[in-house]
Amino acid sequence: MLTAVVLFAIVPASVILVLGLVARVVAAQRVNARVVQYTAPRGSTVFRDALLVDADRRAPSAALIDLAVKRKVRLIAGAPGTREPIGVELTDGVVLTADETALLETLFGPEHTGTRLRRFSADRRALAGRLKTLLLNTEHGLARDGLIAERRVTWPGTTLTSLAYLGMLVEGLFIVFALIGGDLPALVATLVALALTIATIFVTPAWWRRFQPAATPIREHLAGLRRYLEVAEADRLRALQSPSGAELRADASVPAPFADAVGEASAPLARFHLNERLLPYAVLFGIEREWIAKLKLEAETLAHTNVDTLGDLVEVTADVATAIDAVGNVVELTSALGDLVDGAGSVVEGVGGIFEAFGS
């Protein structure tokens, strides 16, 4: 019986596991970063970039944090562990793009209520459905731009998963026969085959996007950005001080008066602002806590410079960190949203209609 188990259980299970691993490697479609990048790709959005790095689950939270970093909204959270909803406050005079409006309309849908945490409420499923629709619309937009194929690759996952379940059926029969016959070696071999089959189900991607050649430069840029976010501090400083790291001399995104009126402190302030802008991408790459810790350290350093114009520059990092700590996981951030309020503190009702005034 041991021979039969090897031929009809272990060998097939090993083959489909190898094929599953191959499918996983192919699905990743890895690109190498040609250079370290310290800014987001031009003309893109965090939400679109999330799909280009297969970070779909993190896209909504990263996009919301991007709004906070841009000072378009403010995240308001209670103390960690209090289970209070996360409030979102629109900045006075905010101008939202069409994509930003669509995100907020998705997060604050018609059944949304701020009276309880969304993750414990009946509208969680509705939120998930709207987010899925937003992701699909973004995916279709990437396809129209020629960055990804119109259809996902699904047949390898479907085929290998079906073979895995068929293999589990065969292995189940072998287990029964081994127990009846008291064949311990055959039983152990069958359990090994079963473990290989179960592993196949977990390692085989159900589907993946097929990235087109036009997406390669953007994906290489994002890979370079990830390198910047992950490298050691010394390497990061070398990148910033290299000839290509001249963004501190002409960073148009640094708000006045930080770029011009703070004298010797302008470079540290500009560097902090640059690093803060990358916080949404740290969320996409799953290293938000490490990056928040770095930003807090930079903020403490800036606080000791006694710069009068420091103002609320460092408050966004604190707000985001508090919000993430309150929900425990950045992926749960969008599920824990409470009220959406305007600059005066009034709760925004009828999101779809009101947001028409904010679109640009």
Structure confidence at residue 263 (pLDDT): 40
Q: What is the DSSP string of 113-148?
A: -SSS-GGGSTTHHHHHHHHHHHHHHHHHHHHHTTSB
Structure confidence at residue 72 (pLDDT): 93
Mean pLDDT, each 10-residue run in order, the chain (360 residues) = 90 97 95 87 94 96 95 82 78 89 86 52 78 96 96 96 96 94 93 97 96 96 92 56 44 41 56 87 93 84 62 76 87 85 68 48
Structure confidence at residue 87 (pLDDT): 86
Domain boundaries, the chain: 2-30+154-203, 31-86+98-153+208-344
CA distances from 344 to 86, 92, 177, 319 (A): 17, 8, 73, 19
Predicted confidence (pLDDT) per residue in 5-53, tens digit: 999 999 999 999 999 999 999 999 999 888 888 889 988 899 999 999 9
**Nearest residue to 124 via CA among 350, 337, 339:** 337
Q: What is the DSSP string of 143-176?
A: HHTTSB-SS-B-HHHHHHHHHHHHHHHHHHHHHH
Structure confidence at residue 64 (pLDDT): 96
Rg (C-alpha) for the chain, rounded Å, is: 25
Predicted model pTM: 0.83
Q: What is the DSSP string of 73-117?
A: EEEE--STTS-PPEEEEEPTT----HHHHHHHHHHT-TT--SSS-
Predicted confidence (pLDDT) per residue in 308-328, tens digit: 545 556 688 888 988 888 888
Question: β-pairing, 73-76 with 86-90?
Answer: antiparallel
